[in-house]
Structure 1
Amino acid sequence: MSDDGGIGKDLLRRRLVTISRADCVALDAADPLKDFRDEFVLPEGTIYLVGNSLGAPPKTASAAVTRVVEDEWAGRLVGGWNAAGWFDLPETTGDRIAPLIGAGPGQVVVGESTSIAIVKAVSAALRLRPGRRVIISDLENFPTDRYMVQGLVKGLGDYEIRDVRGSEGLAGALDDDVACVLLSEVDYRTGDRHDTAGVTARVQAAGALMIWDLCHSAGAFQVDVTAADFAVGCTYKYLNGGPGSPAFVYVHPRHQNATEHLLSGWHGHAAPFAFEPFYRPAEGIRRFTVSTPHVVSFAALNASLDIWERVDLSQLRAKSVALTSLFIELVEELCAPYGLTLASSRDPERRGSQVSFLHPDGYPVMRALIDRGVHGDFRAPDLLRFGFAPLYIRFADVYDAAVTLAEVLEKEHWREERYQQRLTVT
């Protein structure tokens, strides 16, 4: 990639660009988070704008996994459950995630997947509102959120889903039949962000319980989940826990001993090693565990949390706003003639750490962009998504990404036949 981003000076001369690459390099030099980039593995020549899908690995992750396999597993065998603290990983790791979402000790537990966490949270909420039979689900929620709720309703019977579009749809949907509301704090497609405090207050004023999906929030900006009743989230996006790393569930302290969820697994039993024939839930947050923790996956996640313990979340948010705002400005200046439409909010207060653009040929455009070292992703039918992980994305990366996107569009690289073929994972 050249100093001008790889497309030469001719295009830049023809476009009004209000910030230069040198300006971006200067911003990087003054960035208080700049040293964190060196703690992640990023292939040479890659601008990785997919932290909203799978975060880059910490350089310490490989050694952490090796230590578990070679020292703890090979060295201690089954003794690792006691000596290495494996059995308590869901709770000890939950306490490390808690500050990242505004929660306290004993309020977050880690294990299984986001899909399972949704079942735990929603089923527990339903039991707290036995006279109410409606679950409100956003039509814009990530599909697994909706599918798991649909499966719950089908399995439990006598419940119904009331669909809304965004928090704006709640006004006519909240009534005395609503047991709980499940919304994503950040829309996975557009990156737009809900007013969590305001929405939570409205839902609870109607007598319902509020459940937030934080998959595109945790690690992207400061989160305050303490007013909510439940929250769920993954750890493999902005939290850099690795593919398949375990999810988390937050449960407000007032609910922890007042309800049970549907999945009464052995790990959540009050006395697992008493091997009793009937389920008896543990006290506190541990009753929201289900099954044996995936110890090797926890190792990589905890390596990442070693980094997160040193991050100033206010600085993280400030940089996120600056990165996303710069990208919008540059793309709209450089790519104006080529059919891109901003799908994300222009207001940074209403935006997570993601920017999305619409293009009728979004899939081949993204394929061509990736081949030129700028990695985003595509969501059907026409959405190009770019996620900005402030710990390792630089302002110069933003500049180069926007200029390379302009090259792909101007020179129509995306029309090549090889980019028209859909891969399994888009």
Structure 2
Amino acid sequence: MTGVDLDSIDLKHCEALDAADPLARFRERFALPDGVIYLDGNSLGALPKTALDRTAEVVGREWGESLIRGWTAHRWIDLPRIVGDKIGRLTGAEPGEVLVADSTSVNLFKLMAAALRLRPERRVILSERSNFPTDLYIAEGLIELLGGRHELRLADGTDIEGAIDDDTALVSLTHVNYRTGALHDMAAITARAHRAGALVLWDLAHSVGAVPVDLNGAGADFAVGCGYKYLNGGPGAPAFLFAARRHHAELRPALSGWMGHAAPFAFETGYRPAQGLERMLTGTPSVIGLAALEVGVDLMLEADGAALRAKSMTLGRLFAKLVERRCGRYGFRLASPADEASRGSQICFAHEHGYPIVQALIARGVIGDFRAPDILRFGFAPLYVGHADIWHAVDHLVTVMESREWDRPEFQTRASVT
């Protein structure tokens, strides 16, 4: 958007930006419904068209024809490592440092428990007060399971480094805040924790696929992430976990399942951990889910990471400016950092009528989401969201506000999923 005055930008400017976009070619590779502007890829990514063929192949040919032979004939058993290594290329990890398995919550439990075992003399898990709830709930449950000897200590996002002390065993943070999009400085926080003798666990749910991540460059110890947001792996896609190689030999899994055994098919009575990160596997891999996720990861690997981040920042900047310019009189307050370098690939606004406004937009085909108590959240997946989409989305928002469309009764009742 260099050289374009945001105070005067119009639809033609947006269309020109799309015509020059090096990532524009990816849009046709997603099955996006006609008439929909999809600004919720930070919650559930869009469907890659080739995922339809790939999952049909896994179900119809591999499962249908090979049956149980598929575990070796089609390397189903190796998929957690194969897809994990691909995600590792997106996150600055080495081969063998990322596995795809379970859900984000389960992986949080496994890595939190392992980290506390590595710091047995310390008792504090430090996290952010506004962290995603599952990260906090998992910590609470683990602390209770361990007999209450540990403490979950919460700090404001801007006070994390100052809250790390000699009693901190683990700093557990989400890299990009789900509610505001605020982006933590991974390298700085990790370095501060290491100076204090603590370990760090990063949740990359709102980062990988949209924000540059270099786990080893930052010296990270552990990380988790989901496959269904910017990686476009489908609803409930398998999650992933990362552990730096320097920790592998000392990791002791709290969920010591048979897939993490040194010899799963020896069917020994006692547990022996596998040599590498495979010891953090638990149960049988979700083959169909892994196959769909691999399609989304492969798409992401085709794209230039620098171009992804540049477009993400441009889309966010454009959206924030247009809402300010065209809807400023309606009481919207920017809840994301104003500095684009300090936020992920989403823009959030606070408004007292946030929920019905989002529902009115969805009814018009502009899909974002709502986060309690008052946040309208809009995510920008650079592979399939364009600049003209942003213009049209704000057009709809203007109409919703001017006409008070949001005040209609059908938009007031909260659904079970917001």
Distance 1:79 1:340 in 2: 57
Distance 1:399 1:194 in 2: 29
1:92 to 61, 67, 82: 82
Secondary structure of the equivalent of 2:171? strand
Distance 1:62 1:34 in 2: 21
Give the corresponding residue for 1:336. Answer: 328
Check whether the contact 1:138–1:166 (CA below 8 A) recurs between aligned residues.
yes
> Deviations 1:95-146 (Å, cap 9, x if unpaired)?
0110111111111000100001101111111111111111112111111111
Distance 2:7 2:244 in 1: 48
Check whether the contact 1:107–1:250 (CA below 8 A) recurs between aligned residues.
yes
Distance 1:143 1:371 in 2: 28
Give the corresponding residue for 2:178. Answer: 188
Amino acid aligned to 1:420: Q
Give the corresponding residue for 2:56. Answer: 66
> Deviations 1:285-332 (Å, cap 9, x if unpaired)?
111111100111111111112212211100000000000000000000
Matches within 5 A, 1:26-425: 26-157=16-147, 158-171=149-162, 173-226=163-216, 227-425=219-417
Shift of 1:271: 0.4
CA RMSD of aligned residues (A): 1.0
Distance 1:98 1:388 in 2: 22
Check whether the contact 1:17–1:334 (CA below 8 A) recurs between aligned residues.
no
Amino acid aligned to 1:106: G
Unaligned runs of 5+ in 2: 1-5
Secondary structure of the equivalent of 2:49? coil
Aligned residue pairs total: 410
TM-score (norm 2): 0.97
Identity %: 54
Amino acid aligned to 1:146: L
Give the corresponding residue for 2:3. Answer: none
Amino acid aligned to 1:410: E
Moved beyond 2 Å, runs of 4+:
none
Secondary structure of the equivalent of 1:192? coil
Amino acid aligned to 1:49: L
Shift of 1:167: 4.4
Shift of 1:17: 5.2
Secondary structure of the equivalent of 2:315? helix
Unaligned runs of 5+ in 1: 1-15
Check whether the contact 1:39–1:58 (CA below 8 A) recurs between aligned residues.
yes
TM-score (norm 1): 0.95
Check whether the contact 1:362–1:378 (CA below 8 A) recurs between aligned residues.
yes
Secondary structure of the equivalent of 1:193? coil
Check whether the contact 1:220–1:317 (CA below 8 A) recurs between aligned residues.
yes
Amino acid aligned to 2:46: A
Check whether the contact 1:112–1:247 (CA below 8 A) recurs between aligned residues.
yes
Distance 1:411 1:145 in 2: 40
Check whether the contact 1:167–1:199 (CA below 8 A) recurs between aligned residues.
no
